[in-house]
Amino acid sequence: MKTYCKILFISSCLYAQIDYGFEFSKGGLAGFQFLKIETSAVSQSLSGAFATASKDSRSIHNNVSRMSKSSKFSFSVSNQDWLSNSKVSSASISYRIGNSVFGFNLVSFKIKEFEETTVRSPMGTGRKVSAGNNLIGFGLARNFTDKLSLGMQLKYVEERLDNYSYNNIMFDFGSNFKTGFRDIDLAFVFQHIGPDVNPLNTKFRSPLMFRIGASDYIFKSSLLNCLTILELVHPTDSEDYIVIAQEYNYKNKLLFRIGNKLKKESLGLSLGFGIEELKLRGGNKVSLDYGILFAKDLFQDLHSFSISFNQ
C-alpha cells in the first residue's frame, strides 16, 4: 500500500501543471490523432471510461494492466463508425500463462477516399486521395499481488496520406489497484509515450495521455449490479476532461451502459448494451456489445459493434 501511495504522489505531480494566468490552446500540437478514438463498443458506450472496467483482451486498448483480469484465452473484434464517414476496425487477443497475460493488438483507421484539390484546381482535380492509420501492439500484464497488477504495451503506429507516410514506436504503461475498501478499483495509465516525428519537415509530438480512473459498485444484489466509473483524462495536446459512466448488469447476462465526457462540446452522451458470456460448446463463451455516441449537431450519430470470445 505504501508503494502504491508513492505512485499516486508521483502521478499527481506529473498531472499538475502551472497556471500562468492566461488560456492557451494545445490543439494541433500532436500527430496520430486516431489513437484517441475508442476501439470497442464497450469503451465507446462508456465514453472511454474503461480503465477500471475492462476484463478481457480489449483491455490492451485502454489499460493494459487489466488484461490480468481476463480468462485463459480471449479474442475480440470490433468495428465502428467515426466522423466524416471514416471507420475504425480493431482486433485483440490475449493468452494467460500463470500470473502473466500476453496480448496482441491490431487497429485500422480508414478515411473514405476524397478528391484532390490544389491552388489551381480548388474544385478538384479528379484524382482520388486515400488516407488512414494502422497500429500493431504487443502487451504484457501481470498480477504482482492479489491487489496490484501492472502492464506494458509496445506498439508500432503508422499514418498515411496519399503517397506520404510516417511511423513511430510508442509505449503504454498501466496499473490497477484494488483498495480493499468496498469494491473500489484505482487505475493509473500513461499512453502513447514516444519520440517526436518529423513528416514533411514538420515536427509533431506523440499524443501523450494520462488517465486516473476509479470505479465502485454502488449497488449489488443477486439480480442487479451497478458499477459507477470516474476518469480524469489529461492529454498533452488538448484540454483536460472528466468522464462519468455507469454500467448496469442484470443477472450477469444483460448489460446497459451510459457515459458522458464533460467539457467535450462536440460529442454528447454515449449509450450501449451487451449480452455477456453466452455459453458455447467446449466451455467457450461469447459476448456481444453495441454502442452509440451522440455527436450533437455537427455530425451523424456514431455506432459501434463488438464480439468477444473467452475461454
Phi-psi category of residue 86: left, alpha or beta, with phi > 0 → left and psi -120 to 50 → alpha: beta
Residue 239 pLDDT = 86
Please list the residues that pair with 173 across neighbouring strands.
152, 190
Neighbours of 141 (CB within 10 A): 29
Q: What is the mean pLDDT of residues 276-299?
A: 85
Residue 225 pLDDT = 94
Per-residue pLDDT tens over the stretch 173-218: 999 999 999 999 999 999 999 998 877 777 778 889 999 999 999 9
Pick the CATH number of 49-117+124-310 from 2.60.40.10, 3.50.50.60, 1.10.510.10, 2.40.160.60: 2.40.160.60
Whether the Cβ atoms of residue 286 and residue 71 lie closer than 8 Å to each other: no
For residue 50, what is its C-alpha cell?
474503461
At 192, give phi and psi (nearest 5°): 65, 45
Whether the Cβ atoms of residue 51 and residue 38 lie closer than 8 Å to each other: no
Q: What is the mean pLDDT of residues 51-75?
A: 92
Torsion 204-104-60-307 (CA) sign? positive
Whether the pLDDT of residue 235 is over 50: the answer is: yes
Per-residue pLDDT tens over the stretch 253-280: 999 999 999 876 667 789 999 998 888 8
Percentage of the chain beyond pLDDT 70 is: 88
Per-residue pLDDT tens over the stretch 125-140: 888 888 889 999 999 9
Report the alpha-carbon distance of residue 31 to residue 134 in Å, rounded: 13
HSE of 153, CA atoms in CB hemisphere, 13 A? 34
Better-scored residue on pLDDT, 305 or 119 = 305
Residue 90 pLDDT = 95
HSE of 11, CA atoms in CB hemisphere, 13 A? 22
Residue located via cell numbers 489499460? 63
Report the alpha-carbon distance of residue 104 to residue 56 in Å, rounded: 12
By CB atoms closer than 10 A (0-12, 13-18, 19+), residue 101 is: buried
Report the alpha-carbon distance of residue 192 to residue 184 in Å, rounded: 26
Please state the domain extents for the chain.
49-117+124-310
Per-residue pLDDT tens over the stretch 70-104: 888 999 999 998 887 889 999 999 999 998 999 99
Report the alpha-carbon distance of residue 153 to residue 104 in Å, rounded: 9
Whether the pLDDT of residue 119 is over 60: the answer is: yes
Residue 277 pLDDT = 81
Report the alpha-carbon distance of residue 233 to residue 15 in Å, rounded: 10
Whether the pLDDT of residue 309 is over 50: the answer is: yes
Neighbours of 243 (CB within 10 A): 23
Q: What is the mean pLDDT of residues 30-43?
A: 87
